[in-house]
Amino acid sequence: MTIQRMDNVLIVVDDLDAVVAFFVELGMELEGRSPVEGRWVERIIALDDVRQDVAMLRTPDGHGRIELAKFHTSKAVGGAPQDAPTNTLGIRRIMFAVDDIDGAVARLRAHGAELVGEIVQYENIYRLCYVRGPEGIVVGLAEQLG
């Protein structure tokens, strides 16, 4: 058995609208949004009385997807602090290739995003940065040079 592909990454959020707007501004496309509830989902995630809203976004090339979930019941449980440093255990960021890192950062700042560090250049290959968006979500941005 081999993996066919990575299908999506789930991010549990409190303000679904703000996080969807952030990722749409980055260039992702909203595939759909719907309520999810019922015994089938309760059996998969091992929680009772689940009621959530889910939004699915995809990258413009159609290969990458992010699933956002807002739990109404059972209420979401807080994990690491929203401003957790990069060396905190767990998934710390999602990296996106962009064609204009300065433009992407400027657009995301309009949605409350802040640079984690600085925009830096790695040799003559990439310009890179981390941006903290709504709810402490960290995305990496990579602009290939040349």
Per-residue confidence (pLDDT) for residue 18, from 0 to 100: 96
State the alpha helices, DSSP H only, in the chain: 16-26, 39-45, 101-109
Per-residue confidence (pLDDT) for residue 41, from 0 to 100: 87
Element (H, E) at 128: strand 126-132
3-state helix, strand, coil in the chain (%, to 5): 20, 35, 40
pLDDT digits (tens, 9 = 90+) for 119-146: 999 999 999 999 999 999 999 999 999 8
Extract long-range pairs of 50-55: CB within 8 Å, 24+ residues apart: 50/74, 53/16, 55/16, 55/20, 55/30
pLDDT digits (tens, 9 = 90+) for 60-72: 999 999 999 999 9
State if pTM tops 0.85: yes
What single letter denotes the amino acid at residue 54? Answer: V
pLDDT of 114 above 80 = yes
Per-residue confidence (pLDDT) for residue 69, from 0 to 100: 94
Rounded CA separation 14/136 (Å) = 11
